[in-house]
Structure 1
Amino acid sequence: MKKKACCFIGLFLFGLITFAQEKNESLGVSNKTFNIENCVNQFNQEAAINTKVGYQYWFADKDFLDGRTLKMSVVAPRKATHEPHKHIEDEFFFVLEGTAEFYLDGKTVVSGPYTSFYCPSNVEHGIRNVGDTELKYLVIKKYEIN
């Protein structure tokens, strides 16, 4: 299972970078050079951002490409980063460790590692840690860039 998750993440990141490079080339935009130094981002606890219930680490923030992001969130047992909410962007969650309760439009499902959760645009959604260990999950989202 871990091998599948690593393959999923690797393929996603490869697609993210390849698409951005192709898009930039087709638009005649080459304001960013991609190289091994800025295309590899290994987790660094010192660069993590503390939250009220854990921390988050941006592997790709809004400025890396064209608003597409990859973030890892870590949430303490029996906590949630925030209450269910909705926003214009759709997003994917991918659980790496722990037990998550997914909320979508009034219904919930509890699941563990190697589970994905898609949240459509403008639909109320949320994720919370319902386990006794840390919940670690990836968030894949695209922000509009002005």
Structure 2
Amino acid sequence: MIEARALTPGQASGTILKLDVPLSFWGGVDLNSGEIIDRSHPGCGKRIAGRVLVMPSARGSSSSSSALVELARSGFAPLAIVMLQHDPILVIGALVATELYAIDIPIVILAEANWPALRDGKAVVLKTTGYRARIDPA
């Protein structure tokens, strides 16, 4: 079990997509497929759709919030987002997705000491309660 700090509510069960480089949702992800399309990103070609996205931080534009909302609307959003650094832009996007479409995308902040425990391809269950989050093996 890994404890983290919840920024948005929700729960998710799925496989981790771990990125070691920050990603911008605006221009970095195809909003109609959830595929990383930023050619300079090491994860280019991978899909964030339906995955528990783990990355150190987000990168880029304030438009990433609207990109996350559009990904939720089209069914190509990540199930959850786990980061080392708080990103208010993605938090806004997740909250709007909940309000407009009743789709929860929990966003949590992980302590750096727990970063190595979350491995790409590992199945996990993530649950939030208030400002606390718990990540368990599936």
TM-score bracket relative to the smaller structure: under 0.3
TM-score normalised according to structure 1 size: 0.26
More strand by share: 1
Q: Which has the larger radius of gyration?
A: 1
* Higher relative contact order (Cα pairs below 8 Å, separated by 6+ residues): 2
TM-score normalised according to structure 2 size: 0.27
